[in-house]
Amino acid sequence: MATNQKLTFGGFQVNRGMLTTGVALTGLGAVVGLAGTVLVCTALANAGRGWVRSLETQPAELAQRTLHQARAASAAGLEAWRTSVN
């Protein structure tokens, strides 16, 4: 049998060699693309960790401080509303 044997599907002829090569190259491309994606994500994660380490105030502490400020502002607003209604 020749490597360029044709497959026939209801009058539709497909070159088996080209189909096999195309499938193999597509699979290889998918693997290379996945490897590239992993490398990009790893580089971005490392850069993000380095950036967080370089901050003077850690994000958790900053979030806790902001939440405390928001609660205080909410309580002050509620108290002002209560005194203005009465």
Per-residue CA distances from 49 to 38, 40, 55, 63, 79 (Å): 16, 14, 10, 17, 41
| End-to-end CA gap in the chain | 97
Mean residue pLDDT of the chain comes to: 90
**pLDDT at position 1, please?**
44
The dihedral built from the CA positions of residue 19, 23, 28 and 33, taken in this order, carries a sign that is positive
Q: Which two tokens stand for residue 76?
A: 């002050």
In the chain, % of residues over pLDDT 90: 74
In the chain, % of residues over pLDDT 70: 94
**pLDDT at position 80, please?**
93
